[in-house]
Amino acid sequence: MWKQTGWLAGALIILMPVLVIILLGVQMAHGQVRGRLEVFQAIPEVETVAALQSLEPGEMVILHGQLAPLENRPMDALIVFQERPTDGREVRFQEEFPLVFPALTLTLADGDIAVQPDDEIERTIQGELHSLTVGDRTLTGFQAGDTVNIQGRWEPPLLSEAANITSIRHRDVIAELESRLAIVAWVRNGLGLITLVSVILFIRAARQARTAPIVDETHAYA
Contact predicate 155/63, CB 8 Å: no
DSSP string, 64-127: EEEEPPPTTS-TTSEEEEEEEEPTTPPPPTT----EE---EEEEETTEEEEEEE-TTS--EEES
With bands split at pLDDT 50, 70 and 90, how would you rate the model's confidence at 8? low
The predicted structure's pLDDT at residue 203: 77
pLDDT > 50? residue 222: no
With bands split at pLDDT 50, 70 and 90, how would you rate the model's confidence at 42? very high
Contact predicate 31/83, CB 8 Å: no
DSSP string, 19-37: HHHHHHHHHHHHHHHHHHH
Contact predicate 191/22, CB 8 Å: yes
Burial class (CB in 10 A: 0-12, 13-18, 19+), 173: buried
Contact predicate 143/79, CB 8 Å: yes
C-beta neighbour count of 11 within 10 angstroms: 13
The CATH class that applies to domain 45-168 reads mainly beta
How much is the pTM? 0.75
Q: pLDDT tens for residues 79-112? A: 999 998 887 788 888 888 899 999 999 999 999 9
With bands split at pLDDT 50, 70 and 90, how would you rate the model's confidence at 20? confident
Residues constituting the chain:
222
Average pLDDT for 139-166: 96
Contact predicate 88/154, CB 8 Å: no
Query: In the chain, where are the structural domains located?
Result: 2-36+177-211, 45-168
Q: pLDDT tens for residues 169-220? A: 999 988 988 898 899 889 888 888 888 877 787 777 777 777 766 555 555 4
Average pLDDT for 21-46: 89
Angle, to 10 degrees, between the axis of helix 7-42 and the axis of helix 170-211?
A: 150
